[in-house]
Chains A and B, each alone.
Chain A
Amino acid sequence: MGQFTEDRYVMQSRLDRIAEARRWATQQARAAGFDEDGVSAIELALAEALANVIEHGYQGDENQEIRLTLRIDDEKLTLTIRDFGQKFDPQSYSPPDLSNPSEGGYGVFLIHQLMDEVIYDTSLPQGMKLTLVRYRTPRGD
């Protein structure tokens, strides 16, 4: 493993704070040489993940804390989102029926579409940690 940078960001669980967190992540991704396709994917995935934490994990409670970590190395960008709210059960998730337009349910689907790896750690005593990974070059699965 070569060099890496790591930065941390703590935010209040408010929907109107998501834009600032997006800027924090995209500025670093762009500075680290990610192309615009990658930067916009990271931005959207982060926005969806944070909205889920605030609306579902914290059920709209605006006085809670979300801790973000952004690590960038030669190969990939790794974003972790730690919250202390209700856990999301990944097993309960089913992708939306794209042939039938829906008024909701696209958030988690988009995260999986945009990121190369999505890892839910629900083993923590309180809350959970979501890890999102985006590689610099598309992965040949």
Chain B
Amino acid sequence: MEIHVERDNTIAVVAVSGDVDAGTAPQLRQQFDELLGDGEQNFVIDLSGVAFMDSSGLATLVQLFKRVRIGHGDVRLCGLQPEVRRIFELTRLDRVFDVFPSRQEAVASYH
């Protein structure tokens, strides 16, 4: 799994590629911890490079979501591939997160 972080004004854009599973999710959680420690509150998570995600990945995203909501921040997702979209639908987390087709649309939704 690879993680690339960019900042767009007050938004942290986190592009993830590879598999997000029980073996790699801790690395993603650590990255989120660092960004939260830097004061980031508004996130776009670009999952277009993720073909596989398990419940560890979901848990990591829900944890981030709950933490930023305390400070009225948000976590918005984009680029969900069919296999990843299915796990969000099965757990109904597609109703919790705002999901956008593209990174540009997700970033623009904050403005």
Spell out A's residues near B (CB within 8 Å). 14-16, 18-19, 22, 40, 43-44, 47-48, 51, 54-55, 96, 98-99, 101-104, 106-107, 109-110, 113-114
Contacts and interface: CB of A to CB of B under 8 A. Distances in A.
Q: Which of A18, A47, A98, A104 has the most CB of B within 10 A?
A: A47
Contacts of B102: none
Contact of A47 (B22, B58, B63, B92): B22
Contacts, number: 64
Contact of B83 (A40, A101, A109, A110): A40
Contact of A44 (B23, B54, B62): B54
Contact of A15 (B23, B62, B66, B83): B23
Interface of B: 19, 21-23, 52, 54-56, 58-59, 62-63, 65-66, 83, 86-87, 90-93, 96
A55 B66 contact: no
B23 to A, nearest CB: 4
11 contacts: A18-B21, A19-B21, A40-B83, A44-B87, A101-B66, A101-B93, A103-B63, A103-B66, A106-B55, A106-B91, A110-B90
